[in-house]
Structure 1
């Protein structure tokens, strides 16, 4: 945190009638684009209908055939949280419907991402009749072709943006494929799989299947997985996604989640009874992701599949240890990245940054890119050495620059530069030949310069304005805690203000504990994490800052606390 704050702007409210009875919540919701109260209703009856998903009938047909002919079904997932939860959902739910199901997760260091021909060769050892991809497959043209050539049917379920050509699968389910009219393009991979289950259940109900003595699975039992995937995969929280997350959170808070998720809360020292959507992104998600980043995501899926609480806790402890190792590696890599930035004479003139060190860990470069992106407020690609003279990269962006579109532009402008690429607006992956690193640096900087509006490159903090003195209390903090779920494109409320510093001290290594007073003399506790030790503590009497109003729980006591994201001392 620097001595100066970036420019602050306040969110503008959507025009129209009130959407909530509480004045503060009404202001917050309308500032996030909510225009009707029904958008805030989390009941499952308001979920978008499955019928508008292109390919849904063909996908259900395949499941029907698998059930009728007793096919062996193999789930091929991805090595991130969305992939692990999608795999768990597919294995458990399809088994509950009566299918013979197993799963295969590619090791990112041996096989890379998606249904590649190499993964198909490995999958064929299990003699599947049907391969179902979850959270991948939309770009796996060669892999799908290899599977079909071997006589295996393929059902692709994915949510990533497709290329110009779709795989020749027996069915493709992806809300982002051309011609799909499903309104929520922000569905994650786990949600796509969940919708396939909803559609299949409807088909079985219609045929009278469950009236013939077959047990009907309760799909709501898997909403904890869908909620975790939605937040951890950082997809926009549109109304449909918020309903799914809210329902999943309700199950967790009631202790009705799977043992593995509850165990992940516990090893992190968090109380699942007060679970928030932010815990998926900052507590549970990173521990699951650590398996795919450093080892094998199979242990993550095994944690989620565990039915015995003791086994779940053991697995969760393994993931927690991997996450600590990941943080240690990340800290070392961040030192290298900061050295690169400090040595860069034209830092302010670079619009896109490409970083590389020969010994960087391929599984951690995505986190590194995100950390550097936050520091320099520029799109960043972090590269790591791979096999056969190739470099693999993970990119993170800022609002205003669509990463996948930018990479697509680079591929068209400089054919052959990118061996492979794919992703979303804010995150993407790519592969290049090692000798073309300097070219990548030039073209990425040029892509950002060409495609990103200059205003987007100016750091700005967007807040929800100031809170009144009467709102600075525990009641408001608890209200905000349950008013979400907050996440991507529906951010947790942040407020700004000026405070008098009554006391300040360092806790831990780099955290600042404060007592502050407002102009009315009301005193409130506050904390700022990872402060700049050359600035804090300060001799100045005031501070300007941007904060979140939260409930601090300690030894059974609840109190209100300001958690500062940015702050600067003032005279």
Structure 2
């Protein structure tokens, strides 16, 4: 079992300790639960009420976003002049949900619309010349670009030369210059005072539609059915579930569980998601299937599914996308095996502090997933490259605390293009530059990464005694959902626990056992992939556990159980 670091939350200051006591009394919860809230920046009764009871009225005024007034004016002018409008989005989940939201909403009252998703393989990421040419050939004079465009300076200039305006709705980091578009909506613009910076591309598209509704006197409630698309984009794009994203995700999950759109309903059914959906279900159950359309075939299929109005047709689409997802899994596992073998048989790669791998026939659609899989085995910044349109195209993933985007930016002279976030990025470079890039990237990573960042870490919220855990404790904790980045499922540590009864091995890989501490009740603990722990567990010595708490429903019996993240034997 690989060593893991247990990183406790920062010790509370004297003032925070006092705040915990006051908050616990004000909202009638235990000090442990109040500590979890204070760790999340919730210090007062009012803040706790806003956190536990999100309302759509908590959303910010969309006109606080730079250029929003220009964007709305240009959109209204297009509608009044009966211009043809093209809704253009990237081929991932955020892009396809963005396109669906804006296209579906506008199409309820405006007919001169179409949508366009670039082909992952022939056009690549973002705004393409081919897409602009298609718009020009079909008479479009306004393109609304969603989840892309913030770095498309030359493409927007080209569109301008053809008499096509752009409204850009992006959430990626801008470069030094902004495109010469009719409006550039991006909360990460340095000159944008919008209070919340972590919206998805779909979120920025939603804010544009919200502003349009305000300006034209439409009821904001018309947009609320689109929160199911927003939560899918928030979950799949791994953005913080804080602030405005938390409000949108909260209501999005309610909508997704009660009355999802027909296409998502079909996808939920085919994914076998029978229990109440949460962020994790969306990330692992819906996200990969929507992504699979663009990875294996064409992302237009995903938009067609999300727009679908007929249940039979939606089921057919969903089955097709599920087949793509199964194909993706096959590619994913075989390429991961190849990639890991390449590292393990190369002494330089084994000793390196980064991974850069290239194979020209790897499937471009799964290289990001493969990069993430490699990090599970070799915990370090990783870039997986394959050949596409005569170039090396790649996906980068990072480890907590290391900014892979900045490291790639340092290699800009070897690259043709790149973009992304702190923990994930995409890049393209000439094949002949790969060796030089690998050495340069390794040099940058080696000089900046801290030794501890190369060891997998588990962030621990609280050290707690088992007798503090009860149904009341769990029921309050559950109301802190939706959990995700910025508001992760609480992780607990309990020390010197003991084994109760005999452990059970499940499917030769997993282990199930009961633990207790002093006079506490026994709690069932599930440890996936840890069957090898049996000899240590049965040695009779106490041990420390790191775990999350969840509810288990089996044959009408509800119990609290622990999901083990790690264990340390004394």
Tell me the TM-score normalized by structure 2.
Answer: 0.90
Distance 2:564 2:38 in 1: 24
Give 2:185's match in structure 1, choosing from 173, 180, 183.
173
Distance 2:343 2:552 in 1: 36
CA contact (8 A) 2:4 2:455 kept: no
Could you say which residue in structure 2 is the equivalent of 1:202?
214
Could you say which residue in structure 1 is the equivalent of 2:560?
560
Could you say which residue in structure 1 is the equivalent of 2:550?
550
CA contact (8 A) 1:354 1:381 kept: yes
Could you say which residue in structure 1 is the equivalent of 2:389?
387
CA contact (8 A) 2:122 2:389 kept: no
Could you say which residue in structure 2 is the equivalent of 1:492?
489
Structure 1 249/433 Cα, relative in aligned 2: closer, same or farther at 3 Å?
same
SS at match of 2:361: coil
SS at match of 1:440: helix
Could you say which residue in structure 2 is the equivalent of 1:268?
271
SS at match of 1:236: coil
**Shift of residue 525 of structure 1?**
2.0
Distance 2:405 2:244 in 1: 24
SS at match of 2:260: coil
Distance 1:107 1:555 in 2: 47
Could you say which residue in structure 1 is the equivalent of 2:527?
528
**Shift of residue 347 of structure 1?**
5.8
Greater shift, 137-146 or 305-314, is seen at 305-314
Structure 1 168/266 Cα, relative in aligned 2: closer, same or farther at 3 Å?
same
Note the aligned Cα RMSD (angstroms). 2.4
Listed one character per residue, the Cα deviations across residues 241-260 of structure 1 (whole Å, up to 9, x for unaligned) are: 1111111112223x122122
Structure 1 102/535 Cα, relative in aligned 2: closer, same or farther at 3 Å?
same
Tell me the TM-score normalized by structure 1.
Answer: 0.90
CA contact (8 A) 1:403 1:423 kept: no
Structure 1 481/320 Cα, relative in aligned 2: closer, same or farther at 3 Å?
farther
Distance 1:271 1:513 in 2: 24
Structure 1 71/13 Cα, relative in aligned 2: closer, same or farther at 3 Å?
farther
Matches within 5 A, 1:84-483: 84-98=96-110, 100-205=112-217, 218-253=222-257, 255-271=258-274, 274-345=276-347, 349-388=351-390, 390-411=391-412, 415=413, 417-483=414-480
**Shift of residue 174 of structure 1?**
0.9
Distance 2:502 2:10 in 1: 31
Distance 2:305 2:507 in 1: 31
Matches within 5 A, 1:36-115: 36=44, 37-38=46-47, 40=51, 41-98=53-110, 100-115=112-127
Distance 1:69 1:317 in 2: 41
Could you say which residue in structure 2 is the equivalent of 1:34?
42
**Shift of residue 306 of structure 1?**
1.6
Structure 1 25/246 Cα, relative in aligned 2: closer, same or farther at 3 Å?
farther
SS at match of 1:129: strand
SS at match of 1:515: strand
Greater shift, 81-90 or 487-496, is seen at 487-496
CA contact (8 A) 2:210 2:220 kept: no
Q: How many positions carry a matched residue from both structures?
A: 553
**Shift of residue 479 of structure 1?**
3.8
CA contact (8 A) 1:359 1:385 kept: yes
**Shift of residue 383 of structure 1?**
1.1
Structure 1 13/257 Cα, relative in aligned 2: closer, same or farther at 3 Å?
farther
Distance 1:513 1:333 in 2: 32
SS at match of 2:156: helix
CA contact (8 A) 1:400 1:453 kept: no
Structure 1 67/347 Cα, relative in aligned 2: closer, same or farther at 3 Å?
same
SS at match of 1:235: coil
**Shift of residue 217 of structure 1?**
6.1
**Shift of residue 556 of structure 1?**
4.9
Distance 2:220 2:155 in 1: 34
Listed one character per residue, the Cα deviations across residues 46-91 of structure 1 (whole Å, up to 9, x for unaligned) are: 1122122011011001110121011111111111110111011011
**Shift of residue 475 of structure 1?**
4.7
SS at match of 1:549: strand
Greater shift, 534-543 or 522-531, is seen at 534-543
**Shift of residue 170 of structure 1?**
1.4
Listed one character per residue, the Cα deviations across residues 200-254 of structure 1 (whole Å, up to 9, x for unaligned) are: 111112xxxx5xxxx876111111111111121011222121111111112223x
**Shift of residue 289 of structure 1?**
1.3
SS at match of 1:218: helix
Greater shift, 134-143 or 91-100, is seen at 91-100
SS at match of 1:401: coil
Q: Which runs of 5+ in 1 are unaligned?
A: none
Structure 1 494/252 Cα, relative in aligned 2: closer, same or farther at 3 Å?
same
SS at match of 2:337: helix
